[in-house]
Amino acid sequence: MDLRTYRASTLAEAVAKLKAELGPNALILSTRQIVERFCLGLRKREIVEIVAGRNLQRRPQARTAAAATAAAPHAPVLRPSKVPAQIVAPAETTGPLIKTATFSDKHFESLVSEMGQLRNMVGQLAVDVRHQIAPLIPDELADHFQNLKANQVEADLAEELIKAAHSVIRPEHLRNSDFVRDKLAEQVERRLTIGGPIARTRVGAPHVVALIGPTGVGKTTTIAKLAANLILKEKHSVGLITIDTYRIAAIDQLKRYADIIGAPLRVVANPDEIAGAVAAMRDREFVLIDTAGRSPSDTLKLSELRNFIQVAGADEVHAVLSATSSQPCIEHALERFGQVRIDRIIFTKLDETEHVGVLLNVLHKINKPLSYVTTGQDVPDDIEVARGRRLAQLILGSKL
């Protein structure tokens, strides 16, 4: 063991001295800044003191002279304001000046090589896992597959879409992400049944449309949007009927909209009255029926609802579902309200959902046409006639 102390006015000078004596692989054990007094103690100056040695066991804090010079090749006189970031000790302290551990070139190279190996291993692991989850997804389309799944498109359906798109994309286009997205959108669009807007099919009698669905999905708001658009934009005559007599607030809500848009409103409490209410509006082109948000698991009330719809002679029954509900919840509602009657689907609250893929799963399964989607609380603006390509883009991750 050969330990020596070097003092100089700069770090670079001190390192140069020790390198000259101990060689480039000498180990630095401590570095500090001290104040040296001279002229009989009347004057003082800041200097750097390094303790170094050779033939030592390497410790974590120890640095080679080569590394020290690399860290501060042109080290100025060490005053706190000019000290490089890694040098922290103030003057007249005995703590280490340099805190960061550094490595010899050899250590650094081996670390870089190990990191490279790790990166390769993780990459290979990701490919293996992907192959295990979806064995037949081509690597070039793996990100698109993950994206569909992130939007909660069911794995089987996502795989089917990817394979169908893959079969129509030439290999040289597989890495063109926009092109692949476009082809995928085509495939998604094919699996969506789109129903188009409400259209009058009768002459001399109103076209009767009923909205059914769970509580709070937005039936009343959607009726108001539809009525306002039919009256204000398309200049049709519209009458409104509500059978939601369970809550006074629900009647008030529709009454306020009816007054604003200038549509007559009739409140009907039992099935016997509804035929009369529709007949009273026979001068109207459209009659829209708002229904009570009864619990989907309440079979008695569901059969009552079916009765209302039958007696009213509805031309169209739209099931209203919220895009924010979970898939099991939507499927449950569809099963229950399917016992009443479902001709078409309206999805509400697209503005609030994080998983548009659920719409595709559901529509693909039940194969009922989608008529409208709603995109916010504003009456009458936040409603759109469903369009396949637009919905497909949303399912692939576009924003509203």
Ligand X SMILES: Nc1nc2c(ncn2[C@@H]2O[C@H](COP(=O)(O)OP(=O)(O)O)[C@@H](O)[C@H]2O)c(=O)[nH]1
Least Å distance, CB 376 to Mg ion, is 17
Site for ligand X in 270-309 (CB under 6 A): 293
| Closest to 46 (Cα-Cα) out of 14, 79, 24, 6 | 79
Per partner kind, with CB cut-offs from 5 to 8 A, the member of ligand X, Mg ion, none near residue 352 is ligand X
Closer to Mg ion at the Cβ: 147 or 322?
322
Taking the CA atoms of residue 20, residue 22, residue 23 and residue 25 in that order, the dihedral angle to the nearest 10 degrees is: -140
Site string for ligand X, 343-372 (x = CB under 6 A): -----xx-xx--------------------
Print the SS3 string covering the chain. Answer: CEEEEEEECEHHHHHHHHHHHHCCCCEEEEEEEEEEEECCCCEEEEEEEEEEEECCCCCCCCEEHHHHHHHCCCCCECCHHHCCCCECCCCCCCCCCECCCCCCHHHHHHHHHHHHHHHHHHHHHHHHHHHHHCCCCCHHHHHHHHHHHHCCCCHHHHHHHHHHHHHHCCHHHCCCHHHHHHHHHHHHHHCCCECCCCCCCCCCCCEEEEEECCCCCCHHHHHHHHHHHHHHHCCCCEEEEECCCCCHHHHHHHHHHHHHHCCCEEECCCHHHHHHHHHHCCCCCEEEEECCCCCCCCHHHHHHHHHHHHHHCCCEEEEEEECCCCHHHHHHHHHHHHCCCCCEEEEECHHHCCCCHHHHHHHHHHCCCEEEEECCCCCCCCEEECCHHHHHHHHCCCCC
What would the two tokens of residue 302 be?
């569901």
Per partner kind, with CB cut-offs from 5 to 8 A, the member of ligand X, Mg ion, none near residue 348 is ligand X
Distance (Å, whole) CA 65 – CA 70: 9
Residue 348 within binding range of Mg ion, rule CB under 5 A: no
Residue whose Cβ sits closest to ligand X: 218
Among 76, 90, 95, 216, binds ligand X (CB under 6 A): 216
CB-CB contact of 261 with 227 (8 Å): yes
CB-CB contact of 210 with 309 (8 Å): yes
- Span from 38-46, 196-204, 212-220, 260-268 in contact with Mg ion (CB under 5 A): 212-220
Residue 336 within binding range of ligand X, rule CB under 6 A: no
Closer to ligand X at the Cβ: 187 or 353?
353
Residue 144 within binding range of ligand X, rule CB under 6 A: no
Closer to ligand X at the Cβ: 187 or 325?
325
Among 31, 221, 242, 371, binds ligand X (CB under 6 A): 221
Count of residues of this chain found to bind Mg ion when the rule CB under 5 A is applied? 3
Q: Is the dihedral of CA 298, 303, 308, 313 positive or negative?
A: positive
Residue 318 within binding range of ligand X, rule CB under 6 A: no
Per partner kind, with CB cut-offs from 5 to 8 A, the member of Mg ion, ligand X, none near residue 353 is none
Residue 220 within binding range of ligand X, rule CB under 6 A: yes
Residue 384 within binding range of ligand X, rule CB under 6 A: no
Closer to ligand X at the Cβ: 152 or 220?
220
Among 31, 33, 147, 220, binds Mg ion (CB under 5 A): 220
Closer to ligand X at the Cβ: 343 or 384?
384
Closer to ligand X at the Cβ: 76 or 216?
216
Per partner kind, with CB cut-offs from 5 to 8 A, the member of ligand X, Mg ion, none near residue 263 is none
Residue appearing with tokens 């000259």:
20
- Span from 156-164, 180-188, 193-201, 247-255 in contact with Mg ion (CB under 5 A): 247-255
Least Å distance, CB 179 to ligand X, is 33
Residue 324 within binding range of Mg ion, rule CB under 5 A: no
Closer to ligand X at the Cβ: 191 or 225?
225
Least Å distance, CB 290 to Mg ion, is 6
Residue 221 within binding range of Mg ion, rule CB under 5 A: no
Per partner kind, with CB cut-offs from 5 to 8 A, the member of ligand X, Mg ion, none near residue 217 is ligand X
Positions that interact with Mg ion (CB under 5 A): 219-220, 250
Positions that interact with ligand X (CB under 6 A): 215-221, 293, 348-349, 351-352, 374-377, 382
